[in-house]
Amino acid sequence: MDLKRLERRDTALDITRIVAVFTVLSVHFFLHNGFYSETVNEQLGPQMYIMVMMRTLFGVCVPMFMILTGYLMSKKELSAGYYKGIRKTLVLFVLATIACILFKAVHNNSVAYEAFYSFDLKTLFTAVKDSGDLEFKKFLLQTLDFTGANYSWYIEMYIGLFLIAPFLNLAFNKLKSKRQQQVLVATFIFLTMIPTVFNIFNFDTATWWTTPTENDTYQKLVPAWWMGVYPVTYYFIGAYIRKHGVKLKTGTVAVMFAVSLFLIGSFSWFRSYNTTFKSSTYVYWYGFGPCILSTLLFIMLTRIKTKSWHPGVKLVLWKISDWALGIYLLSFIFDSIIYKELCAKVPVMVDRLPFYFLTVPLCFICSAALSALLNLLAAGILRLIDALIEYIKKQRLRKDKDKWQDVLFIALMVGALAFSVWKLSYGFGGNDEAFYLTIPHRLTLGDAMFADEWHLSQLSGLAF
């Protein structure tokens, strides 16, 4: 255990990341349990109001990750070494994509699904092969378009945010005063968040103000074109909190958080009353509700005093925090399994609420275990890449004319191995009789050696 590195690490930030990923899995609880299909009113009892409040609370998930990104990366500068920082993310993303594609190839195929749970491996492999779900072309395209791992939209966003982060830091840190940085943050809040405060009302009918669900047409009062750049807003919020902090007592922040949660949750209840839950702009990640709640919660979590905590506890939190990305990406697998069983065994949606305290922790634990394995594999891959880069550097320093022969040999061997693995799906003929009968037959039909037929034995006579 690296005690010096552990001492330098801010455990409160690890807790923040863990809370963020747990709230992501909590939002998925509502995504998969039928919540968005139920009518929001008191006929289902207090459970529906509680679920609306919980959904409002858990909306902090993605914004907290973005604020944390700005908090941690606000001092990064552009350099050649900077881009190495995204390698682990990309490797984990590819590994998680492979895991999700393999899972869907079995889970979404009824024959393969039954064969898997009956341990009929022959039928399982045949069904998966016949479906074509594991073709290399399909895997490659699903990786590039971020659909292989169903929750990987965040990776697509993060790649762009990572690439522009040094330039965002220049824009933020080169401002001359705290006041100017406040104006920068306020400007982005106006561009991305304020539209969800003002552009959500209807002025055509007076009855809309008592029954807003009767009409989904709203009037635009402020510009809304830039709402899509909300990750930059959260990035600047994180950068500002790191540099200047917030001069409010923690108790005051907690009270503000509780009051905000009640008001925003009740507003969502009112706006969704007698219809399904309204996932309008004020509920989405760029909404005023998630922005307020995630910022206040982030401030509270980062103020947790962990200096006196036992090193073992800090180490566990560090590891779980390190697995957070994998937990998020891989949770799709366990969501698909767990909620399929929950919905089948508990037919009434509101009756599924108590199972939140079972399903979400279970999904978290299972995803963490698989993420730990993929993190180990990713670490091995990165070490191999580093070793290969170091080897190439040494080869370039050699003076002899054969300095690249080892690299060429390794590359050819890797290519041959990859080709052999690909050819496995075509099988291997162990009998020569059919071969020696078909070759003369092809020649009598007009085929020519080399031009139409290529095999090893046609050149074997040259050695003698």
Round to whole Å and give the CA distance between 175 and 240: 12
Indicate the angle between helix axes 356-397 and 11-32, nearest 10 degrees: 120
1 pLDDT above the threshold of 60? no
268 pLDDT above the threshold of 70? yes
pLDDT tens for each residue of 203-250: 888 888 888 887 888 889 999 999 999 999 999 999 999 999 999 999
Residue 338: the pLDDT is 95
Round to whole Å and give the CA distance between 180 and 151: 37
pLDDT tens for each residue of 91-133: 999 999 999 999 999 988 888 888 888 888 888 888 888 888 8
Residue 182: the pLDDT is 96
Find the angle CA(213)-CA(218)-CA(224) to the nearest 5 degrees: 135
pLDDT tens for each residue of 65-92: 999 999 999 999 998 889 999 999 999 9
Q: Tell me, what amino acid is at 109?
A: N
Return the higher-pLDDT residue of 431 and 232.
Answer: 232
**Sign of torsion over alpha carbons 440, 443, 449, 452:** negative
User: Hey, how many other C-beta atoms are within 10 angstroms of the C-beta on 49?
Assistant: 16
For residue 43, give every residue at least 6 positions away whose Cβ sits within 8 Å of its Cβ, in sequence order, or none: none
Total residue count of the chain as it appears in this document: 464
Residue 215: the pLDDT is 80
Stretch 376-383: mean pLDDT: 95
Residue 58: the pLDDT is 95
Place of tokens 């590039």: 144
Indicate the angle between helix axes 87-107 and 356-397, nearest 10 degrees: 130
Residue 429: the pLDDT is 61
**pTM reported for the whole predicted model:** 0.86
CB-based contact 234:189 (threshold 8 Å):
no
Q: List the chain domain ranges.
A: 3-388, 429-464
Place of tokens 């009518």: 39
